[in-house]
A and B are shown apart, each in its own frame.
Chain A
Amino acid sequence: MEANVEARPVIKIEAPAVRQDEGALPAEQHELKMAARDVNLWYGEKQALFDVSLDIFARQVTALIGPSGCGKSTFIRCLNRMNDVIEGCRMKGDIALDGEDVYAPQVDPVQLRARVGMVFQKPNPFPKSIYENVAYGPRIHGLAHSKAELDEIVLKSLIRAGLYEEVKDRLNEPGTGLSGGQQQRLCIARAISVDPEVLLMDEPCSALDPIATARIEALMEELKETFCIVIVTHSMQQAARVSQRTAFFHLGKLVEVDETTKMFTNPSETRTQDYITGRFG
């Protein structure tokens, strides 16, 4: 594990041609952050992903949509190697972060997950205080060298997650005592406390009411300035509202990926069209 972390092999992944037509995003938005090539994945005997290739760009929100069980959650769990902890899960293909192979033997999943953070469907604050929840990441990764530094990180994370004003008087109360939306924002604060480069969000609003959902969506809008965000959602409206690029998954295959505006107005695949217009899913 301690083998030279610096000497990561760089796998060559060609940047896709950036569309220059009308309505496309400005070129500076297209800084390639993560790339997946021919990703196949099996749970035991059952194949869950088939040849998925997808580019994820920095400073924008990429939404993964598709009917349930289509492999979108499985796919984002590949991006920070969360599937490693599942017994009997096998993966083939390449995934790169800043051009470095994420699955290279010398890449440590523990460090990778600090760089690629994750927020889950159901808010899952630890049964600790609000403060300790946010301090967890900096503590285990040793990011703070003093109590003051740690306080600052916690404070900053809570502010960025838009939770600080609501909890500033009860930082030592258990995180499980917050409302669902607050809990989810606490989880976001926890995830960004280690300053990840990519933030994966697996249906972060599916357990929340519309008001809490709106707050999280507004938060994503702000966070995308700093983090590359990938969100899995089953709500097409949400994808349309928050994302710049959308990928449509179906039966473990990536059907189509394009800029969100294009996807929702003029998809090239009929299956996408059918899904978006509500004919199945």
Chain B
Amino acid sequence: MSDAQTVDRQQPRMGDWASADSRRRLRRRYAADRRLQAYGIIAIGLAVGLLGVLVTSLVITGAPAFLQTKVDLEIYVDPAKVDAQDPAKGNFRLLVREAMTPYIPTDATDKEKTEVTKILTSDAAYILRDYVVAHPDTIGKRITLPIAVSDPFDQLNKGVIPKKVEALTWSQELYFERLKNRDVVVEEGGRTSLKLDVYIDPAKVEMGPPPSGDFAALARDSLQAYLPDVHDTALFALLADDVPDAIKLRVEADPSLIGKTVQVVFPVAQPVAELAKGETPMVLNPRFSPVQIQAFEAMEEKGIVRTPFNWDLFFNADSRFPERAGLAGAITGSFYALLVCFLLSFPIGISAAIYLEEFAPKNRLTDLIEVNINNLAAVPSVVFGLLGLAVFLGFFGLPRSAPLVGGMVLSLMTLPTIIIATRAALKAVPPSIREAALGIGASKHQVVLHHVLPLAMPGILTGTIIGMAQALGETAPLLLIGMNAFIPSVESMGVLEPATALPTQIYSWADSPERGFVSRTSAAILVLLAFLVVMNMVAVALRHMFERKW
């Protein structure tokens, strides 16, 4: 050993820290360190950024739903059509239609008149009916009633969808560009036209006279021949409607052309002509008819189109029409379900926690209970839905879709949360307080009920509120027990009646095809998130208020 040491002392030190090699190495090591740090920042940025994207996209799509376009419609409640004795039976549809007359062009057809009334929500007649039934004195008078417009016009008014859209698709513009490069685009007689070689196929044309046949097909074939790689019927939309006539005229004039290839000048469709002039061709959005737009513009001119805050979103129940759909039913259903959930899980959770924390002997049964509680907290929520379906609905025969069942299922899910929170709160009460109470002769039950539980209550309440917030957002179990019923009226709701809840309402709306429901869904989510934020803030405030330093 001592030999080795003497050798060591003679040797130079291993690391030559000043060498260029060592400096390079150090640089690399620090670069790796910075890289790791950068990955961390990127990861956090990604997570926080995604949260931001989520919230932003919800706010952007949801914000318009908090406003609703309405028309202050002046309606004459004609006593001839509404019986003052039985106003509910009146012909309100006709009244609404009459009220729309000032905005309908005088020469409009019946079909167009019907189209104009479709500017208003389909529920317009019911809105009027409800109003007149509530105010029978208005019969025979002229009233001004704000009536929601139907979804497309709501979106139009809010600028979500445009009045006019581009007439040509991007690919159609490209096809025209390619035709231009082939030098077939000409100006003739003031119209932009295509000068194309057409083969007058004898198989497709009858000699006549007069010659007949599928001239449109001939035109299409010839156009296709110029762009053989395009397989898109949108290509043929470039041609004007009178194209077949151009060929027909030529063939009529000279029947000997059949079987030959001739050059024909085809006028292009109107939008293509505009494109050729360097303009962007626009057409009316196909969701609106010209007469509807005319009527709507007339209403706007008269100043009766308003966009007030959409109280209906909060006070209406669900509806098939997005402009009338609201969250009142969902909020009521969620309230009932949470009430049941609270009434069950709060006392049961606290009792169970007190027993396990304060009284339970350490044995296999209590071990089993603890294992069960921990595992229940991690069981997928959809499994609780299956449990509710099989046991509460199937075995006990409780009513389907009822908030009672929803609340029971949710309480099973929140129980572990409440039990765990309560036990933590009980544990946080210092033993000195128990000892003091026991010392003056209180029984164990008295100690817990009179001293420990009140001190632990803020913690318990915090945990309970957080559990309730989780329950409020649960969707899958409610879907399985059918708590996504269509509830068009709040009045009939009860703990045992079919109901819907906020998250299931969100799910139903998200599934609806109407465009207006996209915005409503986002708005409903914002409402749900607002509830969650408030609940969590209350929980945090509670924790702060009663924070105690023992």
Binding site for B on A (CB under 8 A): 1-2, 5-6, 108, 110-111, 114-115, 140-143, 153, 159-160, 194-195, 197, 222, 225-226
A194-B17 contact given A1-B27, A1-B30, CB 8 Å threshold: no
- The reply to whether A2 and B27 contact each other, CB–CB distance below 8 Å, is yes
Question: Which B residues are CB-close (under 8 A) to A1?
Answer: 26-27, 30
Interface centre among A5, A143, A153 (most CB of B within 10 A): A5
- The reply to whether A140 and B29 contact each other, CB–CB distance below 8 Å, is yes
CB distance from A222 to the nearest CB of B (A): 7
C-alpha spacing A191/B13, complex, angstroms: 14
Question: Which B residues are CB-close (under 8 A) to A142?
Answer: 22, 25
Residue B1 interfacial (CB < 8 Å): yes
List B1-48 residues whose CB lies under 8 Å from chain A.
1, 4-5, 8-9, 13-15, 17-18, 22-23, 25-27, 29-30
C-alpha spacing A160/B8, complex, angstroms: 11
Question: Which A residues are CB-close (under 8 A) to B1?
Answer: 222
C-alpha spacing A222/B6, complex, angstroms: 11
A226-B8 contact given A194-B15, A195-B14, A195-B15, CB 8 Å threshold: yes
- The reply to whether A143 and B15 contact each other, CB–CB distance below 8 Å, is yes
Question: Which B residues are CB-close (under 8 A) to A110?
Answer: 26, 29-30
Question: Which B residues are CB-close (under 8 A) to A115?
Answer: 15, 17
- The reply to whether B23 and A225 contact each other, CB–CB distance below 8 Å, is no
| Closest A residue, CB atoms, query B27 | A2
| Closest B residue, CB atoms, query A2 | B27
CB distance from A211 to the nearest CB of B (A): 20
A141-B15 contact given A1-B30, A2-B27, A222-B1, CB 8 Å threshold: yes
Sampled A-B contacts (7; CB under 8 Å)? A1-B30, A2-B27, A111-B17, A114-B15, A142-B22, A195-B14, A222-B5
C-alpha spacing A207/B515, complex, angstroms: 72
Question: Which B residues are CB-close (under 8 A) to A114?
Answer: 15, 17
C-alpha spacing A159/B8, complex, angstroms: 13
CB distance from B14 to the nearest CB of A (A): 4
| Closest B residue, CB atoms, query A153 | B14
- The reply to whether A226 and B26 contact each other, CB–CB distance below 8 Å, is no
- The reply to whether A195 and B17 contact each other, CB–CB distance below 8 Å, is no
C-alpha spacing A159/B3, complex, angstroms: 13
C-alpha spacing A194/B13, complex, angstroms: 9
A143-B26 contact given A226-B5, A226-B8, CB 8 Å threshold: no
Interface SS, B side: helix
C-alpha spacing A225/B9, complex, angstroms: 8
A195-B26 contact given A5-B18, A222-B5, CB 8 Å threshold: no
CB distance from B455 to the nearest CB of A (A): 34
C-alpha spacing A1/B24, complex, angstroms: 11
C-alpha spacing A226/B123, complex, angstroms: 96
Interface centre among B4, B9, B15, B29 (most CB of A within 10 A): B15
C-alpha spacing A226/B17, complex, angstroms: 18
The 8 A-B residue pairs with the shortest CB-CB distance in the complex, in nearest-first order = A195-B14, A142-B25, A6-B18, A225-B5, A111-B17, A2-B27, A5-B18, A226-B8
A195-B9 contact given A1-B27, A222-B1, CB 8 Å threshold: no
- The reply to whether B26 and A111 contact each other, CB–CB distance below 8 Å, is yes
A108-B26 contact given A115-B17, A143-B14, CB 8 Å threshold: yes
C-alpha spacing A110/B33, complex, angstroms: 12
| Closest A residue, CB atoms, query B1 | A222
Question: Which B residues are CB-close (under 8 A) to A194?
Answer: 14-15
Question: Which A residues are CB-close (under 8 A) to B30?
Answer: 1, 110
Question: Which B residues are CB-close (under 8 A) to A226?
Answer: 5, 8-9
Question: Which A residues are CB-close (under 8 A) to B17?
Answer: 5, 111, 114-115
C-alpha spacing A1/B5, complex, angstroms: 35
Question: Which B residues are CB-close (under 8 A) to A108?
Answer: 26
Question: Which A residues are CB-close (under 8 A) to B25?
Answer: 141-142
C-alpha spacing A1/B25, complex, angstroms: 12
- The reply to whether B26 and A2 contact each other, CB–CB distance below 8 Å, is yes
CB distance from B96 to the nearest CB of A (A): 72
Question: Which A residues are CB-close (under 8 A) to B13?
Answer: 195, 197
C-alpha spacing A160/B3, complex, angstroms: 12
CB distance from B535 to the nearest CB of A (A): 35
CB distance from B68 to the nearest CB of A (A): 55
Question: Which B residues are CB-close (under 8 A) to A159?
Answer: 4
C-alpha spacing A225/B1, complex, angstroms: 12
CB distance from A228 to the nearest CB of B (A): 12
Q: Which of B4, B8, B14, B23 contacts A2 (CB 8 A)?
A: B23
Question: Which B residues are CB-close (under 8 A) to A225?
Answer: 5, 8-9
Question: Which A residues are CB-close (under 8 A) to B22?
Answer: 111, 142
Question: Which B residues are CB-close (under 8 A) to A140?
Answer: 29
| Closest A residue, CB atoms, query B13 | A195
Cβ contacts B352-391/A at 8 Å (1 or 0 each): 0000000000000000000000000000000000000000
- The reply to whether B23 and A5 contact each other, CB–CB distance below 8 Å, is yes
C-alpha spacing A160/B7, complex, angstroms: 13
Question: Which A residues are CB-close (under 8 A) to B27?
Answer: 1-2
Question: Which A residues are CB-close (under 8 A) to B23?
Answer: 2, 5
C-alpha spacing A84/B22, complex, angstroms: 22
